[in-house]
Amino acid sequence: MASSSKPARHAFASTLKSFKTASGKAGQLYSLPALARQFPQVNRLPVSIRIVLESVLRNCDGRKVTAEHVQQLAQWAPQAARKDEIPFVVSRVVLQDFTGVPLLADLAAMRSVAAKLGKNPKKIEPLVPVDLVVDHSIMVDHYGQKNSLDLNMKLEFQRNRERYEFMKWGMQAFDTFGVVPPGFGIVHQVNLEYLARGVHKRKEGYASAKAGALPVYYPDTLVGTDSHTTMINGIGVVGWGVGGIEAEAAMLGQPVYLLTPDVVGMELTGQLREGVTATDLVLTVTEILRQHKVVGKFVEFFGEGTRTLALPDRATIGNMAPEYGATMGFFPVDERTIEYFKGTGRTKSEIEAFEAYFRAQGLFGVPLAGEVDYSQVVKLDLGQVTPSLAGPKRPQDRIELGKVAGQFADLFSKSNADNGFNRPADLLHTRFHIHRRDEVVVGATPDGKPTPMGAPRFVAEMEANKPALATAREEASAATLPARGADPTVGNGDVLIAAITSCTNTSNPSVLLAAGLLAKKAVEAGLKVQPHIKTSLAPGSRIVTEYLTETGLLPYLEKLGFALAGYGCTTCIGNAGDLTPELNEAITSNDLVCAAVLSGNRNFEARIHPNLKANFLASPPLVVAYAIAGTVLRDLMTEPVGQGKGGKDIYLGDIWPSSDEIHRLMKFAMKGKAFRENYAKVATDPGKLWKKIKGVAGTTYTWPASTYIAEPPFFANFALEKGAASAEGVGATGQNGQITVQGARIMALFGDSITTDHISPAGSIKASSPAGQWLLQHGVQKADFNSYGARRGNHDVMVRGTFANVRIKNLMIAPTADGSREEGGVTVFQNEGPLRGEKMFIFDAAMQYMAQETPTVVFAGEEYGTGSSRDWAAKGTQLLGIKAVVARSFERIHRSNLVGMGVLPLQFKGGDSWQSLGLTGAEVIDVLPDAALTPQSDATLVIHREDGTRQQVVVTLRIDTPIEVDYYRAGGILPFVLRQLLSGA
């Protein structure tokens, strides 16, 4: 019997080889060059595929990962049919707090189930390191003042105390779960600067290894619960964003399963021109790759131009892989990567092991043309990139800087169907007074100056927002801000939020130093920012503040209102905080199309602020420039940015920094000692506010009463026997193994580009919404609603906010007389009875349908589910009783998450759509998939119309892999994994 516990011999044991670092330290690796002796094609595989292959090779245990898996991937061919799935075992998992908290709640619920079944709760334990970075919670309530950061963090801790207590419980309950507390930075930048180690090592686990054998080294790989996890691709780390549902499975020992991907090689040639930033480059890359339809594919950058890019520029491009639709935007390891590791404070031994490992594997260096086989090659001459923005509604809609004003004016009167705002053209330049409430005094500083009221009650006095800039009113242009004593005005195209924010750019010293230099030149020229524009600086790391201070640039940013507001996603995730009541009233009562300009990666409708319809992505220096201009209706290539001293016109070229000026300051940004000292404080000095947080102790959570954290319902009917938690009650109904959806009503008919921002609860909670009403009924005052993101640990709040976005358009609702569509999460109830034909919130309709045991389905167009990797977009869909989503195409993560929650994703074939089928929402739908749920097989939609006619339509079942069939039949991925853990399978 003793021999049964002896590890089996590795199927490719001969590939275990030794290597040495530059200082002579020895280790072992599973050698890809050795594997290439058996499979010669390995030497020409894309670098990203080879790194995935190493994981498959190293983890080949004959069970979850078989020799056949190794053989299949080793023989990857650029143009082959993609039908094989890869079981990819990652080295670690990274979380941000919005997605991390519900994931932790699921783990806690699993432990509760284990305890109820008499099993050891400790069986539920992450098997790989898990790091949660708290970066999504801070909101920009205070801004434009030197103490904004302190005030915002105090509010953050007040609002999120219950969540942070729960995290503290997780830290002590799980051995492999760590937390980077609030105030250190954005998860992706912290990942780049601190969490990523380059290579990991472990003791050899196979019988062939003798006592005292050398450790086995392997590459850093990961998945993260944020789609922008791909920023890590910039340092040669294979990783991407997954939903919390998939991440949970990866933490608990499940491989991440993916179809063998195509790999698109993007060859970069030439060099960026003077005045062109990494942001301009990534917006161009995003536009090009979107056009080449790289959804679900790896993109790998190669060529001479790629070799010229600094590491932060590569990370910027990797970050926006979700925006161009790719699984990854990967850059191989080379000398630039080593330089970055040195500059960010990694140890000498780490860097030596990292470089020696990649050289021994034949993975060091950016390939040149012809050295690697790709499925497709896309080319870009860096010299052709021009200054750009993207918007006003999607990140792939790039606009050259000189065309922004014209594009906005054109879209102003275009129809919603044409991505426009559907407003009369003659109203474009109409302006309205903002009626100030001068009688409201909300507090004062020691010198007697008024200070803004922070949310919970929001700012009530506009002029108090920026006391340091109060004199700007006297010198500002009369066309944009009246003289002191008169009410200022607001109009279409006005920039009301200007934010240097988001992981995309705040990891990049070149664009942040450029913003600081532009601010310096602007202040010296006498330019100012109008006091009512909400300006903020939210860096991705404390290091940013350090080098902006050391270079003397921070005071100039502060003078223009870009004071430090927080270390977190802030505006880009929807945490911009509110505008003043006066501005909100002026916008809504006059249906104005006002703008935000941010250095972010997401600008979907209602994401930045529910009342700002136009949102533009831009580089940090352009954010500052547009804050000064105050409008997107000014052409910054030909018109003045503003008037400086003596009323002199100041143009963008007058204040734009040169590349030499930026380069001279770069030495302040990459200092290894500063990075080491900063991140040492995660353990030694996490901050007084964090130290005050006390969590409950013990291996299982006690679930105290809370409107933030509640035991999730996903294991309510769980039983240990296999098959007990089948798809019944979760997905479709099962009869003799046949999965069907019978007699379903249509919950919604959606158009193209319905994002997870539309589906998943995000942003502020309206008091009149179902979620707001639930909170009020549970004793929560409106001032303390916080955001949906902060309440992701409570399913009662989240399900009420699913499909509740204020900009979502359910096309079941008839258009108005002018052709526009009603916005908001409403539907028409269709079951027989007194409520038939009544318009109501989607949540309310879902409760009615579920009470009547009627399943529901959703129809949509192209790119359904693009956006952040939000598990609640799938969880909320399931809890609303929606059994299937039928769309023209799906975003990768959301499709996978739907399956993981027991919801059938179905895809129209050819030119079919719900529009071509003439659906109105009154039909009854049956869904008849293949009995075996064969991946990507045909399924039949049966449409029963009101006139008694019946139509059948063939669609594709988007359950893509065999493991997804198992997940679906088990009732979802979570019951599947829990059953395995508790049964010892």
Angle at the Cα of 218 (from 216 to 219), degrees rounded to 5? Answer: 165
Instruction: Give 405-422 pLDDT, tens digit per residue.
Output: 999 999 999 998 888 999
**pLDDT band at 6; cut points 50, 70, 90:** low
**pLDDT above 60 for 313:** yes
**pLDDT above 50 for 218:** yes
**pLDDT above 80 for 733:** no
Name the phi and psi angles at 28, rounded to 5: -120, 160
- Structure-token pair, residue 355: 């470089």
**pLDDT above 90 for 938:** yes
Rounded mean pLDDT, 575-592: 92
Tell me the residue length of the chain. 985
Name the phi and psi angles at 265, rounded to 5: -90, 125
pLDDT score, position 306: 98
How many helices (H) and strands (E) in the chain?
A: 33, 35
Helix (H, G, I), strand (E, B) or coil at 378: strand
**pLDDT above 70 for 663:** yes
Rounded mean pLDDT, 381-402: 95
Q: Who has greater pLDDT, 454 or 304?
A: 304
Q: Taking a C-beta distance cutoff of 8 angstroms, is the pair 864, 750 a contact?
A: yes
Instruction: Give 139-174 pLDDT, tens digit per residue.
Output: 999 999 999 999 999 999 998 999 999 999 999 999
pLDDT score, position 441: 29
Encode 617-641: b = buried (16+ Cβ within 10 Å), e = exposed.
Answer: bbbbbbbbbbbbbbbbbbbbbeebb
Rounded mean pLDDT, 107-113: 95
Give me the chain's average pLDDT, please. Answer: 89
Q: Who has greater pLDDT, 585 or 452?
A: 585
- Structure-token pair, residue 328: 């990854």
pLDDT score, position 8: 66
Q: Dihedral of the CA atoms 814, 818, 824, 830 (nearest 10)? A: -10
Instruction: Give 53-87 pLDDT, tens digit per residue.
Output: 999 999 999 888 999 999 999 999 999 998 888 99
Q: Who has greater pLDDT, 808 or 732?
A: 808
pLDDT score, position 735: 55
pLDDT score, position 734: 61
AA identity, residue 810 = N
Alpha carbon 169 to its chain centroid, in Å, reads: 26
pLDDT score, position 761: 85
Cis peptide before 555 (omega within 30 of 0): no
Instruction: Give 789-798 pLDDT, tens digit per residue.
Output: 889 899 999 9
Q: Among candidates 111, 95, 227, 100, which has minimal Cα distance to 163?
A: 100
**pLDDT above 60 for 922:** yes
pLDDT score, position 467: 36
N-terminal to C-terminal alpha carbon distance within the chain = 19
Instruction: Give 635-659 pLDDT, tens digit per residue.
Output: 999 999 999 999 999 999 999 999 9
Rounded mean pLDDT, 258-279: 96
Cβ atoms < 10 Å from Cβ of 221: 22
**pLDDT band at 435; cut points 50, 70, 90:** confident
pLDDT score, position 790: 85
Instruction: Give 850-865 pLDDT, tens digit per residue.
Output: 999 999 999 999 999 9
User: HEC profile for 660-682?
Assistant: HHHHHHHHHCCCHHHHHHHHHHH
**pLDDT above 50 for 844:** yes
pLDDT score, position 436: 61
Rounded mean pLDDT, 195-218: 76
pLDDT score, position 48: 98
Of 369-373, 768-772, 890-894, 906-910, the one with minimum mean pLDDT is 890-894
Instruction: Give 331-376 pLDDT, tens digit per residue.
Output: 999 999 999 999 999 999 999 999 999 999 999 999 999 999 999 9
pLDDT score, position 478: 28
Q: Taking a C-beta distance cutoff of 8 angstroms, is the pair 599, 511 a contact?
A: yes
pLDDT score, position 459: 28
Name the phi and psi angles at 146, rounded to 5: -65, -25
Q: Taking a C-beta distance cutoff of 8 angstroms, is the pair 653, 387 a contact?
A: no
**pLDDT band at 253; cut points 50, 70, 90:** confident
- Structure-token pair, residue 747: 């919950």
AA identity, residue 40 = P
**pLDDT above 60 for 4:** no
CA distance 594 to 579: 12
pLDDT score, position 603: 83
pTM of the predicted structure, to 2 decimals? 0.83
**pLDDT above 60 for 722:** no
**pLDDT above 80 for 212:** no
Q: Who has greater pLDDT, 381 or 207?
A: 381
